[in-house]
Chains A and B, each alone.
Chain A
């Protein structure tokens, strides 16, 4: 505590703790309110695919801002200025691929996880390789968030990370285990607003402390004002490749937590709106919210109003305390926000890990035909186990040291490239086959990991793989061409690595792309992606094409087919309007089959709907945000009362029969 310069006496510390505990209990209670809307694992993990875009977008604020974000970007903001926003502001380049490619593919093909996509698109081996990589990726994030909140707690209270992390992790694990995706979304929505409020509070108070915006801006060196910077320690080109390309694709294509959030939308259109608003509005605001404390800290130091912090990883806590002038209540609120950021990121990830645990491991491999109640219980137990694993990982980070920025990139950029590239190629290249996918993931991962030992590591890995592929080419006659091609590729890599072992291959990539003299961590992802893509191309060209029936609806070429399979009939693209204030007739009528809803002709006309179209029916009270809603198939009603729609009791779902509803055509 002394090294931070905070002068919290016992009363102040008590106030900070009280605010945090009250906040925590309030969020816990709020989250549990939504527990009753989880009837099965589909509700528990995907909220029954019923929410509008604004709820998805709003809840993404808190999911996208982890506690590490406040600490890491405040540190980056202090050291490198407004370039700290780069990570948040370079996602647009991959948006076409997501909005018109990956999002409709995963939504219409009804996949529940990335590994499931891998099995349907490729084979079982690809699926379980994906399970291993994605679980590593998400567990890394959970551990990382727990580690960063431990750093903050240590900064404020002096309590050791070894003590605080298990306590926080266990409390958090209990909370997320009790909630489901619906609880996660609603609590994240509330916490998101709290985070923005906190960011605005710190920015306004900080700028005021400096004497106004002019003083704040004037105190910053020019290098700290520009949004995209290359300096000795911060290279924009490296960040562009590592974050803007590899990181953005990983976050939008591979992050199971975000994927599940999009799958909670009521339609692809709502998912597109959520993605659009997220990148256009939320990301820029979030970039300011998480970075502004660092900018203010730099201005304070430049103005001589604050001593330069010795340990820049504590710059957030240190500066917040300084600009709030020791106001215990406000500082307690800010620390509660830091906890909120942790909770909202980790709850999503724990839920996502549990989804993979149940959908990709437990259900297909351990217990195939159990009841939904059984799977729900298993999901909750998995959540608890994931929390414990996250704590253990956080302990590893303590041993690794506290350089947050580098630690984050080292882990993520080694984990993601092979899988991200395979997802990308699988979604956008129909010819890419299962053999190529498995080879690309395996070789891509081995080369990326081995590059940690520079060219020597790459040479050893390529040499070993060369021997393996030559042996396989000699013994596996049916795949000789594929293994032969891989052998030639490995020989080429071995040669490149051996020609000049002292010159790092990653450095050559960096030089080629105009990167900095030392940029291993960022360009490692480029090496991994490039190597994976190369192996994918080569093996695909030398092995036979997969059965085209297998890839139907799973690639960008066959989205029309995916829509037809999703709906069960031809999609209807005619634009209709939403019809509000309708009343429900809930009847057991032999003529009305389960899953259908009778709509009167004027309503069908207003919706521009035809028999067989997919219809969304929701409680008319907007504040419920689709919480009480169902999706049914439209049929023209035999009776024509323009204000009433008819459905069977078994299709009522969470709708209340006496409350008015609105209807909307989805497809």
Chain B
């Protein structure tokens, strides 16, 4: 596939996620609106994060198995889920108490 077309598809898909995320969440969580912003943040932000991981692996700046790249990659992914867990837990406690 030609590179410009590939880039265009990636941008289009990203745009689609950005468009669909708030509407999809609204439709699914209409009764629990307070959860929408936090889930939106991690859905769209998650796509940005995943694009970053894909880019650094595809371009060879992160090579698992070279030096401590694998460790850093793992820490990046763990950090993402740590933040996600923290925000979800915090919201849950705020609503439950």
Instruction: Return chain A residues, CB-CB under 8 Å to B46.
Output: 93
Q: With a CB–CB cut-off of 8 A, which chain A residues contact B53?
A: 96
The stretch of A22-30, A32-40, A229-237 in contact with B is A229-237
Q: Which of B1-60 contact A (CB under 8 A)?
A: 3-4, 7, 18-19, 21-23, 26, 33-34, 36-38, 40-41, 44-46, 48-49, 52-53, 55-56, 59-60
Judging by beta carbons under 8 Å apart, are A89 and B61 in contact? no
Instruction: List CB contacts (< 8 Å) of A56-103 with chain B.
Output: 82, 89-90, 92-97, 99-101
Proximity string of chain B (55-91) to chain A, C-beta cutoff 8 Å, 1 when within and 0 when not: 1100111100011110010011001101100110011
Q: Is A513 an interface residue (CB 8 A)?
A: yes
Closest Cβ of chain A to B67, distance in Å, is: 4
Whether the pair A236, B45 counts as a contact (CB closer than 8 A) is no
Contact residues in A for B93 (Cβ distance below 8 Å): 225
A513's nearest neighbour on chain B, judged by CB, is: B18
Given known contacts A100-B62, A559-B61, A90 and B45 CB-to-CB distance under 8 angstroms: yes
Check if A488 is an interface residue, CB within 8 A of chain B: no
Bound state CA distance, A512 and B3, in angstroms?
27
CA distance A280 to B82 in the complex (A): 9
- The interface residues of chain B lying within 8 Å CB-to-CB of A557 are 59-60
Q: Nearest CB to that of B21 among chain A residues?
A: A514
By beta carbon, the residue of chain B nearest A224 is B94
The distance in angstroms between the C-alpha atoms of A217 and B66, with both chains bound, is 48
Q: Which residue on B lies nearest to A234, using beta carbons?
A: B37
Q: Which residues of A contact B52 (CB under 8 A)?
A: 93-97
Which residues on the B side are within 8 Å of A217 (C-beta)? 97
Q: Are B60 and A227 in contact (CB under 8 A)?
A: no
Could you tell me which residues of chain A, from 132 to 173, have a CB within 8 Å of some CB in chain B?
none
Residues of A within 8 A of B40 (CB): 236-237, 240, 514
Residues in A neighbouring B4, C-beta threshold 8 A: 541
Note all chain A residues with C-beta closer than 8 A to B66. 573
Contacts of A93 in B (CB 8 A): 45-46, 48-49, 52, 80
Residue among A92, A541, A573 making CB contact with B80, cutoff 8 Å: A92
Q: A537: CB under 8 A from chain B?
A: yes
Q: How far is the CA of A66 from the CA of B72 in the complex (A)?
A: 30
Q: Closest B residue to A98 by CB, please name it.
A: B52
* Interface residue SS majority, chain B: helix
Residue of A nearest to B23 (CB): A514
Q: Which of A489-527 contact B (CB under 8 A)?
A: 512-514
SS of A interface (majority): helix
| A228 touching B83 in the complex, CB below 8 Å, given contacts A96-B55, A514-B23 | no
- Determine whether the beta carbon of B55 is less than 8 Å from that of A228: no
User: Is A237 touching B22 in the complex (CB atoms < 8 A)?
Assistant: yes
For the complex, give the distance between the alpha carbons of A376 and B72 in Å: 38
A244 touches B41 (CB 8 A): yes
Contact check: which of A99, A100, A244, A512 meets B19 at CB < 8 Å?
A512
The complex places the Cα of A279 from the Cα of B49 at a distance, in Å, of 15
Of B19, B67, B69, B94, which is within 8 A of A225 by CB?
A: B94
How long is the Cα–Cα vector from A227 to B34 in the complex, in angstroms? Answer: 10
Determine whether the beta carbon of A99 is less than 8 Å from that of B72. Answer: yes
A556 in the interface, Cβ–Cβ < 8 Å?
A: yes
Interface centre among B18, B69, B83 (most CB of A within 10 A): B83
In the docked arrangement, what's the CA distance between A621 and B68, Å?
A: 27
Interface flag for A426 (CB, 8 Å): no
Given A96-B76, A217-B97, A230-B37, also A537-B56 (CB < 8 A): no
Bound together, the chains give a CA A89 to CA B19 distance in angstroms of: 23
Scoring A residues 239 to 280 as 1 if CB is less than 8 Å from chain B, else 0, what string do you get?
010001100000000000000000000000100100010011
Report how far A240 CA is from B36 CA in the complex, Å.
13
Q: A379 to nearest B CB, angstroms? A: 33
Known contacts: A96-B52, A222-B94, A225-B94. The answer to whether A269 contacts B68 by CB under 8 A is yes
Known: A92-B80, A269-B68, A537-B7. A240 touches B41 (CB 8 A): yes
Q: Mark A537-549, 1 if CB is under 8 A from B, else 0.
A: 1000100000000
B61-A228 in contact (CB<8A): no
Q: By CB atoms of chain B within 10 A, which of A236, A428, A514, A537 has the most?
A: A514
Given the known A-B contacts A94-B48, A100-B72, A236-B37, are A560 and B60 also in contact in the complex, defined by CB atoms under 8 Å? yes
A272 to B79, CA, bound (A): 13
Among B26, B68, B87, B97, contact of A228 (Cβ-Cβ < 8 Å):
B87
Q: What is the CA–CA distance of A516 and B66 in the complex, to the nearest angstrom?
A: 45
Known: A514-B21, A557-B60. 4 other contacts (CB 8 A): A226-B34, A230-B36, A237-B22, A573-B66
Some 22 contacts from A to B, beta carbons below 8 A apart, are A89-B86, A92-B49, A92-B79, A92-B83, A95-B52, A96-B56, A96-B76, A97-B52, A101-B61, A217-B97, A225-B94, A227-B90, A227-B91, A230-B37, A236-B40, A280-B79, A512-B19, A514-B19, A556-B55, A557-B60, A559-B60, A573-B67
Partner-B contacts on A (CB < 8 A): 82, 89-90, 92-97, 99-101, 104, 217-218, 222, 225-230, 236-237, 240, 244-245, 269, 272, 276, 279-280, 284, 428, 431, 512-514, 537, 541, 556-557, 559-560, 573, 575
